[in-house]
Chain A
Amino acid sequence: MKYLISVVIGMIVGIALFVLGLYYNPFVGNPSVSPLAMSDLDLVDLSYSLVPAESIVFANDGESNVKPHPTKVLQLWEPTIKRTRGFVTTLTDSRGELVGLGVKFSSDSEASALLDAEVLVDSVWHIYLPERGTLFVDQTENFWSYLHDIIVPARLSSGDNWRGSWHGIMSMGPGALGTARVTGGAGDLMEGEAEAVESITARAYSATIGPVGMTGNLTIAMPHQDQEPL
């Protein structure tokens, strides 16, 4: 009997060691330098608030701690879209001036692999910029660092919140350098393609209501106006 107890306790310790090893994996880092940092293309910076109450519409299944906005928005409760979020927001440039509107759909990805520190989300943007036209951005985002550095500490905190200064690159594909793919609709990029990178800058997060002080940034590397699209 004592051998059985010994092996069970050993297994519990083993599982705990595995979880700790996964969480504190030294080989996983938070990419904070954009793959477009050295690009010589025209970079279009679009910023938006990730606080649901500051969006135009934020829709989810209604059961998450992050509440939909406005409160009467239709909830995505059906089984096929339960793990999907819909988000409509204003987009501002680096000076904070309104430059367009964006719609984002994001769904939890079945390619997520905890062993590889990949908490993946398949997301698409549908963007309207009066000066540039319409754009479609598709990408896979990795939320591992966000989960590791913000959500878990917030949940472990006695105050159920996290405060600090955090910046992370979320995009990890499908581009070879981990960039998102941009397809032009009507406008400057019509018939063309480009690359983009999305990042998050966080200052405060609440385990009970979600993002409190958090902005997203979408940097699009557009071909020069006098250059043929990529």
Chain B
Amino acid sequence: MSGGGYADAFLDGQGQNLFKTFNLGIVLGIALAAALVYFFPVVDQYRENSLISVHANGGNSELFHVSLPEDRIMAGVSAASRSVPPGLEWPEHEFLADIQIELFKVRNENGIVVGAASRMSGKSEKHGPFVEWVVHLPARGTMYVNMAVTPSPDGYRQGNLRAGTREFLTLNGVVLERFVKDEDDPELGTVGRIELAAALVGPLEEIE
């Protein structure tokens, strides 16, 4: 005997109609909830317009920067007096003495924060010196950049996009890093900005 059959046995005509309406409501409720969950995104990352210049060769370039000192989330080095933020306990270990890790907020060309980044630099006894960036843009993806250790005479350090995720997954190219110093402030320390200029190109596609 079906559920409707049970209702038929115990309810009068009006009660049966009410019971059917109630069942219809259940089906509608399930359908409504499923539609809401399906069509409304659980996460909707806020996006800023990407300020990308597209070039004739199909490549594109984009400029990011970090304003110092206000965008510095963390600076971890072995000398505690230089560490940011206050209260940071940097692990004092012999093999971490030559490593420096910094975390920053990253701004686009218009000065709007679009992501966060980590810069790792140091000298490993076993593998030599290195400088690396991970630039994480939540709405777009992440870039992993290995930089040259020595900057050019005009202050640029060039790096290669070693790996990327999502929007940067299939791209190749270079990223230039340059520190532009504005002034030395006795309270804030060095005031300036780190510029990151990315020149990236997608994979070549076969022409049919």
Contact = CB atoms under 8 A, between A and B. Distances in A.
Given A6-B22, A14-B26, A59-B103, A131 B126 contact: yes
B138 A126 contact: no
Contact of A14 (B29, B42, B88, B120): B29
Interface in B4-55: 17-18, 21-34, 37-38, 41-48
Nearest to B38: A115
A178 interface: no
Contact of B144 (A59, A109, A183): A183
Interface stretch (A78-86, A148-156, A164-172): A78-86
Contacts of B128: 186
A28 interface: no
B87 A72 contact: yes
A75 B153 CA distance: 36
A13 B47 contact: no
A139 to B, nearest CB: 9
B196 interface: no
Contacts of A72: 85-87
Question: Which secondary structure dominates chain A's binding surface?
Answer: mixed
A98 B94 CA distance: 11
Question: Which secondary structure dominates chain B's binding surface?
Answer: mixed
Interface string A63-93: 0000000111110101111111010101000
Interface in B154-204: 162-163, 165-166
Contacts of A126: 118, 120, 132, 134, 144
Nearest to A78: B113
A6 B25 contact: yes
Nearest to B34: A18
Nearest to B131: A186
Which bucket holds chain A's interface residue count? Answer: 35 or more
Contact of B30 (A17, A81, A86, A187): A17
B120 A103 contact: yes
A131 B124 CA distance: 8
Contact of B33 (A2, A10, A14, A122): A14
Contacts of A83: 43, 45, 138
Interface string B132-161: 101011110010101000000000000000
A110 interface: yes
Nearest to A136: B144
Nearest to A131: B126
A212 interface: no
Contact of B26 (A2, A13, A109, A187): A13
Interface in B45-88: 45-48, 71-74, 76, 85-88
Contacts of B37: 22, 114-115
Contact of B32 (A15, A101, A109, A110): A15
B103 to A, nearest CB: 6
A84 B135 CA distance: 13
Given A81-B115, A86-B118, 19 more contacts: A14-B32, A15-B30, A17-B26, A18-B34, A56-B91, A72-B87, A78-B105, A80-B137, A84-B136, A84-B138, A86-B73, A86-B74, A88-B118, A110-B43, A133-B126, A136-B144, A183-B163, A185-B130, A187-B126
Interface of A: 2-3, 6-19, 22, 56-57, 59, 70-74, 76, 78-84, 86, 88, 90, 98, 101, 103, 105, 107-110, 112-115, 119, 122, 124, 126, 128, 130-131, 133-134, 136, 138, 181, 183, 185-188
| 4 interchain residue pairs of minimum CB distance | A10-B25, A14-B29, A70-B87, A11-B29
Interface of B: 17-18, 21-34, 37-38, 41-48, 71-74, 76, 85-91, 93, 95-96, 99, 101, 103, 105, 112-116, 118, 120, 122, 124-128, 130, 132, 134, 136-139, 142, 144, 146, 162-163, 165-166
18 contacts: A3-B18, A6-B25, A7-B28, A11-B32, A14-B27, A17-B26, A70-B88, A73-B85, A80-B112, A80-B115, A81-B114, A88-B76, A88-B103, A101-B101, A103-B134, A108-B43, A134-B132, A138-B142
